[in-house]
Amino acid sequence: MKSRTAPPNHMLLDEQFCFALYAASRSVTGIYRPLLEPLGLTYPQYLVMLVLWERDGITVRELGRRLMLDSGTLTPLLKRLQQAGLLQRQRRHSDEREVQIDLTAAGRELRRHAENIPACMLERLCLDLPELKQLRDDLRQLVARIHPSPVEGEAT
């Protein structure tokens, strides 16, 4: 009969970086839910709107690159946002292969209603601004290590 031994510590769930990151991500996303509900947005839709409020008129490809999402994931999000009257999608005249996304007046107005969300999140996370910025920067560095940016001029 084989004896049962405890697994090595590195195989315990609580020792896994991936689980800590997953749990943190789900927890933070859960905090966003009641803040976004009155705006009629889900968290992924909010991310799309953040990019568009920053740079209106970009292509689906640019949006996907910015959010690190493929078009199969983006298309349903964009369709729902268009049905909600927040954006329009249309083929570019200069290149029919590219779909441009433009905010509607309602989409631009929604930004005003969302402006308090970052401050609410800072309060609900119980972090001060320098702590939050450090955590954000550490996570950006992690992503950059996993997905290094292509060298300028290099084909993508």
| pLDDT reported for residue 155 | 46
Residue 147 has pLDDT above 90, yes or no: no
Say if residues 28 and 120 touch (Cβ distance below 8 Å): no
**pLDDT tens, residue by residue, 64-122:** 999 999 989 999 999 999 999 999 999 987 887 889 999 999 999 999 999 999 999 99
Choice between 75 and 2, residue whose per-residue pLDDT is larger: 75
Where does the chain have alpha helices with state H?
A: 17-36, 43-54, 60-67, 71-83, 105-114, 117-124, 129-146
**Each residue's pLDDT tens digit, 6-61:** 667 888 999 999 999 999 999 999 999 999 999 999 999 999 999 999 999 999 99
Residues 114-146: pLDDT tens digits? 999 999 999 999 999 999 999 999 999 999 999
pTM for this model (two decimals):
0.86
pLDDT at residue 153 is higher than 80: no
Q: What number does CATH give the domain 25-112?
A: 1.10.10.10
